[in-house]
Amino acid sequence: MVQHFRPAFMMLLLFTLLTGLAYPFAILGVSQALLPFQANGSLIVQKNGPVASAIIGQNFTGAGYFHGRPSATSAPDPADATKTVDAPYNAANSSGSNLGPTSQKLIDRVKADMEAARAAGLSGSVPADALTTSASGLDPHISPAFALLQAAAVAKERKLPEERVRQLVQDNVEGRLLGILGEPRVNVVRLNLALDALSPAAAP
């Protein structure tokens, strides 16, 4: 038994140096040199500094923007650190709702959101991604159907022709790679940046 102590200790030490330090730092060096945009979080920088990561969703609330999916992320309650409060798109604490398919809480939440959507003038059946929370709470994408559904309201708020806004959505649909891999989707942050570029004056 004791004869295994030295190899166990030394192997652990050597592999910690190799796989725990040399390996990640080698990847760090190469990726910072060759792929700095991706390696630093795909940040979109405008004149006043970074406004978004191109692949992390944001919590859009204004009527002049396309909205992302509901998000179940939370943050510590500033008043009581043992509790949490809802904080949609909290990119420092990713999380899904973890509600099961027979959860009353899930049904109540979807029902309330659906009523709000109906009150806002939405009719017919609503795309699933519009009323469900994502796995990470940070989903940057929505389905093209959900984006088109919002086009009329956004166009009205921005005082743009609806056709122009619908065209903007279509231009921002990302397709499948090689026509096979992935799902058609719209990146909400990029779409809203394009919208701001189109009518900066109307930006809230």
Partner 1 sequence: MTMIGWLQIGLLFACVVAAAKPLGVYMARVFSGEKTFLQPVLRPLETAFYKLSGVDPGKEQNWLAYAMAMLIFSLFGFLSLYAILRLQAVLPWNPQGFDNVPPDLAFNTAISFLTNTNWQSYVGETTMSNFTQMAGLAVHNFLSAATGIALAIAVTRAFVRSSAATLGNFWVDMTRATLYILLPLSIIVALAFVATGMPQTLLGSVDVTTLEGAKQTIAMGPMASQEAIKQLGTNGGGFLNANAAHPFENPNAVSNFLSIFSMLVISAALPITFGRMVGRDRQGWALLAGMGILLIAGVAIVYGSEAGGNPLLTALGVDPSGGNMEGKEVRFGMAMSSLFVAITTGLSCGAVNAMHDSLMPLGGLVPMFLIQLGEVLPGGVGSGLYGMIVFAILAVFIAGLMVGRTPEFLGKKIEVREMKLAMLAVLILPLVILGFSAVAAVLPSALASLANNGPHGLSEILYAYSSATGNNGSAFAGLSANTPWYNTTLGISMALGRFAYVVPVMAIAGSLAAKKKTAESAGTFPTTTPLFVGLLVGIILIVGGLQFFPALALGPIVEHFTLLAGKTF
- Near partner 1 in 12-31, by CB under 8 A: 12, 14-16, 18-21, 23-24, 26-28, 30-31
How many residues touch partner 1 under the rule CB under 8 A: the total is 102
Cα–Cα distance, 97 to 16 (Å, whole number): 36
Cα–Cα distance, 161 to 6 (Å, whole number): 75
Q: Of 83, 93, 162, 197, which one interacts with partner 1 (CB under 8 A)? A: 93
Q: Of 79, 81, 177, 201, which one interacts with partner 1 (CB under 8 A)? A: 177
CA torsion 52→88→95→79, rounded to 10°?
Answer: 120
For the chain, how big is the Rg over CA atoms in Å? 22
- Phi, psi angles (nearest 5°) of residue 89: 60, 40
The single-letter code of the amino acid at 179 is G
CB of 166 to partner 1, least distance (A): 19
173 alpha carbon, distance to own chain's centre: 16
- Phi, psi angles (nearest 5°) of residue 107: -60, -45
> Where in 178-197 is the site for partner 1 (CB under 8 A)?
180-183, 185, 189, 192-193, 196
Stretch of residues binding partner 1 (CB under 8 A), selected from 5-13, 78-86, 153-161, 162-170 = 5-13
CB of 197 to partner 1, least distance (A): 11
> Where in 33-72 is the site for partner 1 (CB under 8 A)?
35, 38-43, 48-62, 65, 69
